Structure 1
């Protein structure tokens, strides 16, 4: 099968690699976001997907707007039975969706219809979901609203971070895509419509989302810390400096103080009173400093009860 692959970030790379290395299909082109200027030098850098495609000698296109009429005509000239979309970052027009014989298949990092949208991995952790997974979906004009083709689930242990779950799910996407393509070719997949009433929306992450509200429960804050690790990260303030919290746990000690105050200090950590329970802080990063265990941070900073 001739396939056009549309994707941009690191998450899409293992899926494209699986598609290339399967040897069963021909990736006739890769479409990704335009190169971006980085740092003070302004040097243009390629997207992770573009780098992989060029390593394998695949033609790469970087349109500002994939829906632009002139680029749609470019797509029409590329041999294509199927378009695969993985975290591409642009919305496809109906004209493009209807172009290939087998339509457009999206690899999405959630169990749809739960967590439609931009950041499903992080929100599944923040919400305390018991499971998540990968869905392959027949795309339509809506936002992650197309018919479900195949899914693969994993149980969540309550220890995952946004980064670790990102890695786990990205490895699952490629094999599920290959299985989906084979099923479509053989006519063995029956698309299943999504139940819109069960849908949730995974809004885009922002830095402001990481500001910790200690009036919330320790359980909620601990999930926020894990979900936003490694970006944008959860944070509070130590004096006038931002203090990122990279790791924490819910203490089994009963609440004893005012919300937002340090109420328990030991050699390895300190505990902050929340709206419900104490949050024990295990790893931090003070503004301008490196990440470190809380024990190391306390050696250079005086942390006493009621000091925050």
Structure 2
């Protein structure tokens, strides 16, 4: 197909390395179709940049091509209707033996469309963005913090020969040293930073001013095989940072089946909410938190898991999943799925916000024993589950209520408990009494803990056993519930029961 703007196109394209977008504002429907077909056979990512087909019609009409407007009205501009679609396959120039998406695109444009590319400012309103996805090995900037990200990072290090050419890490800046109760300086260093130092990996830290002030190293900006990987990083990566990497070469390993449990604490909330199914997703990092297209995922069962056990299980899955994704990144990008197209997309996405201390406070009015026990497994690694214990006999307001953390929790079915002493049987009958409110507790020696009444799930009541308790301000927890109760016998009521409350803290 003859055209007059080829040199101008090449000149403009020369300003972009193959890792950056090439904008082709084609005017004709026929050229749009030709380019679409080309991309099906090429190594580019092609995006339709118009919110709707009517937008395409308006652009075609503005170009004065009435026949093409008619074609667009009759056939639309498939397959790029209503939302961005991407198609990716490896492109190869037989003459040079290198990837060259520009040559294929240029040859398909007619004279008018090729001139449009050469016009001043034509790329500011593109109909197409064309981008190469490099095959491995990659030059990786890895962003992470904790043990979960360490497992992912170690998997990348194991693939230095085939998948990874070079790797550097970016971690949050270390907080200011804090004094311990004994006056010693303590600094919380991110585990990923320690691991990278062991392997002599270049380490970057997030500036105190935030990621907006972080400069992506030129070695990544200027490379077509640069790859950004984030796992349990804890920061929203700003657009300027993301734009330094190719569109599909910025990946996040997220420990949930997106769009479920978007946010900073998916593992904790999967346990606390009693999910019977979770997993790991590999998504493209988008400008909106956890909204990127999905390239890979795998399910996992979190039944009766603690946070640490489930974290380690999902980290191992995520590490293998990332390696599998990198081996075939161009092909997986071609089949990437928007989160809105997932099987459960008819259900609203769920959030997993960062766990705060207030989330660990027991609300006796709404929480069953099962729910409290799940909450304990999910968040106690960060904040122990706790409650408030009033002292009705106190004269000093400072001692009128105590904060008590609950440890080693178990849901108890009283119908299955045997060999109870007479005192235990009497106390438990009082707990079962309708007049006993949730939060009422008594000591059970046969069970080896403090038995606490909770609201029921589909029944009158449920019961929780706390084997260890710790009052805030005390140097260490009591060895068991019986020892702990010795200091609070004056708070027992006439029935010999202790009462906890749901006094909520201010957020």
TM over 0.5: yes
In the superposition, relative to structure 1, how do residues 63 and 221 fare at CA in structure 2: closer, same or farther (>3 Å)?
Answer: closer
More RCO (CA 8 Å, sep 6+): 1
How far apart are residue 242 of structure 1 and its match? 2.8
1:275 aligns with 2:425: no
Give the equivalent residue in structure 2 for 1:233.
384
Q: Is the 8 A contact 1:147 1:191 kept in 2?
A: yes
CA radius of gyration, larger in: 2
Give the whole-Å Cα distance in 2 for the aligned partners of 1:261 and 1:217: 13
Residues 130-164 of structure 1, C-alpha deviation per residue, up to 9 Å, x if partnerless? Answer: 0111111011111101111111211122x222232
Give the equivalent residue in structure 2 for 1:58.
201
Give the equivalent residue in structure 1 for 2:165.
26
Segment drifting more, 235-244 vs 145-154 = 235-244
Give the whole-Å Cα distance in 2 for the aligned partners of 1:50 and 1:174: 18
How far apart are residue 199 of structure 1 and its match? 0.7
Give the equivalent residue in structure 1 for 2:282.
136
Give the equivalent residue in structure 1 for 2:329.
184
Paired residue secondary structure (1:117) = coil
Q: Is the 8 A contact 2:467 2:481 kept in 1?
A: no
Q: 1:206 aligns with which of 330, 349, 356?
A: 356
Segment drifting more, 256-265 vs 113-122 = 256-265
Give the equivalent residue in structure 2 for 1:194.
339
Q: 1:175 aligns with which of 315, 320, 340?
A: 320
Paired residue secondary structure (1:51) = helix
Q: 1:299 aligns with which of 478, 483, 493?
A: 483
Give the whole-Å Cα distance in 2 for the aligned partners of 1:185 and 1:117: 27
Q: 1:215-234 residue pairs with structure 2 within 5 A?
A: 215=365, 216-234=367-385
1:250 aligns with 2:411: yes
Give the equivalent residue in structure 1 for 2:470.
285
Give the whole-Å Cα distance in 2 for the aligned partners of 1:187 and 1:86: 19
Query: Normalization by structure 1: what TM-score?
Result: 0.88
Give the equivalent residue in structure 1 for 2:440.
261
Residues 229-249 of structure 1, C-alpha deviation per residue, up to 9 Å, x if partnerless? Answer: 211121124564432222322
- State how many pairs are aligned: 304
Give the equivalent residue in structure 1 for 2:6.
none
Q: 2:215 aligns with which of 49, 71, 84?
A: 71
Q: Which structure features the higher share of helix residues?
A: 2
Segment drifting more, 266-275 vs 248-257 = 248-257
Segment drifting more, 263-272 vs 121-130 = 263-272
After superposition, the CA RMSD in angstroms is 2.5
Q: 1:150-161 residue pairs with structure 2 within 5 A?
A: 150-157=296-303, 159-161=304-306
In the superposition, relative to structure 1, how do residues 192 and 186 fare at CA in structure 2: closer, same or farther (>3 Å)?
Answer: closer
Segment drifting more, 272-281 vs 179-188 = 179-188
1:91 aligns with 2:236: yes
How far apart are residue 165 of structure 1 and its match? 1.7
1:37 aligns with 2:154: no
Give the whole-Å Cα distance in 2 for the aligned partners of 1:178 and 1:99: 22
Q: 1:16 aligns with which of 153, 156, 169?
A: 153
How far apart are residue 264 of structure 1 and its match? 6.2
> Which ranges in structure 1 are unaligned for 5 or more consecutive residues?
none
Residues 160-193 of structure 1, C-alpha deviation per residue, up to 9 Å, x if partnerless? Answer: 2223222222222211111111120555761111
Residues 242-273 of structure 1, C-alpha deviation per residue, up to 9 Å, x if partnerless? Answer: 32222322222274322211156233122111
Q: Is the 8 A contact 1:97 1:103 kept in 2?
A: no
Give the equivalent residue in structure 1 for 2:261.
115
Give the whole-Å Cα distance in 2 for the aligned partners of 1:189 and 1:182: 14
Q: Which structure features the higher share of strand residues?
A: 1
How far apart are residue 128 of structure 1 and its match? 0.8
Paired residue secondary structure (1:198) = coil
> Which ranges in structure 2 are unaligned for 5 or more consecutive residues?
1-137, 392-400, 416-431, 457-461, 500-507
Give the whole-Å Cα distance in 2 for the aligned partners of 1:198 and 1:217: 25
Q: Is the 8 A contact 2:293 2:336 kept in 1?
A: yes
Residues 77-134 of structure 1, C-alpha deviation per residue, up to 9 Å, x if partnerless? Answer: 5785211011222222233323333421001111111100011111111111001111
Segment drifting more, 269-278 vs 106-115 = 269-278
Give the whole-Å Cα distance in 1 for the aligned partners of 2:276 and 2:403: 32
Q: Which runs of 4+ in 1 moved over 6 A?
A: none
